[in-house]
Amino acid sequence: MQAAQTTIDDAEIAKFEAMAAEWWDPNGKFKPLHMLNPCRLDYITSQIAAEFERDLSAQSAFQGLRILDIGCGGGLLSEPMARLGATVVGADAAPRNIPVAQIHAEQSGLEIDYRHTTAEAMAADGEQFDVVLNMEVVEHVADPLAYLTACQQLLRPGGLHICSTINRNAKSYAVAIVGAEYVMRWLPKGTHEWSKFITPEELYKLISDAGLNPVDKKGFVFNPINWSWYLSSRDLSVNYVTASVKPK
C-alpha cells in the first residue's frame, strides 16, 4: 500500500467526505454534477461505442467490457455504465462515498463492485480494464503524472481512458470558483483550488508522458439561457474532457 500514498491529497479527500451523503440529491452540494451528467454521459458513451464498435441502440451495448470509474463518488457514472451491460468497478479514496454508492446501486437493482481504494493500489494488484473513467479527479490529486501513470497501467492494450478536468485561466477562476462557490453556491467554498487546475495542453502532455495517446478533446459548456450543458469542439475555456488510448 506504499504506492497508494503517492497521489492522495488528504485535504481534498476530506472535502468530499463531508459531502458524501448528498451524492444523489439533485439539489444538494453535487447539483453541478447532476446538471453536467447527461453531457458527460453523451461523450463517454459515444467514445466507448466508437472505440469498441458498439451499437448504443442495442440492449446491453457495453456487455463484455470491464469499466473502472475511478473517483466514483456516489456512482453517478458507474450506474449508467452498469445499465448498459458493462462489468463496473467503482473506486474512491474517500471511504464514506462507498456505502452511499453501494446502497443506491442495491436500491436500483444494479451489481457494481464498489471499493475504497486508489488507482495506484489497483495497478499494483495487476487489475486490468477496457475503459478507465477519470472524471473531475486529476485536479484533486497531489501528483497528476503519477496518478495518470497508474490509470494507464490499469488499462489493457487498446484500452480507452476518458479524463475530464478544469482549465486554468481567468475565466475558469471566475466561473468555477467565484461563480459556482460564492455566487451560485452550487459547491462549498474551497471545493476547488485554482492553482491545481490544468490546461488542455498540460493535460495532453501529462497523458502522453503517462504512456497514453490522446485522440480527442471537447469542452463542456454551460448555456445559462436554457440552463443546460453542451459539448463544444472549440470552447475548452473552463470544463473540458479528453479521450486517449493505450497502444496495443
Residue type, 95: P
Is 48 in contact with 65 (CB distance < 8 Å)?
yes
71 labelled binding-site residue:
yes
DSSP state of 205: H
**32-56: b or e for each residue (b if 16 or more CB lie within 10 Å)?**
bbeebbebbeebbbebbbebbebee
Say which residue the cell 479528453 belongs to. Answer: 242
CA dihedral sign of residues 209, 210, 211, 212: negative
For residue 182, give every residue at least 6 positions away whose Cβ sits within 8 Å of its Cβ, in sequence order, or none. 189
Angle at 31 between CA 163 and CA 137, to 5 degrees: 25
109 labelled binding-site residue:
no
Q: How many whole angstroms separate alpha carbon 4 and alpha carbon 17?
A: 18
Q: Which three cell numbers stand for residue 127?
A: 487489475
Beta strands in 100-238 (DSSP E): 113-116, 129-135, 155-166, 213-223, 228-232
H-helix or E-strand containing 74? none
92 labelled binding-site residue:
yes
Q: How many whole angstroms separate alpha carbon 230 and alpha carbon 232?
A: 7
Angle at 42 between CA 47 and CA 194, to 5 degrees: 90
135 labelled binding-site residue:
yes
State the binding site for S-adenosyl-L-methionine.
40, 71, 92, 135
State the binding site.
40, 71, 92, 135
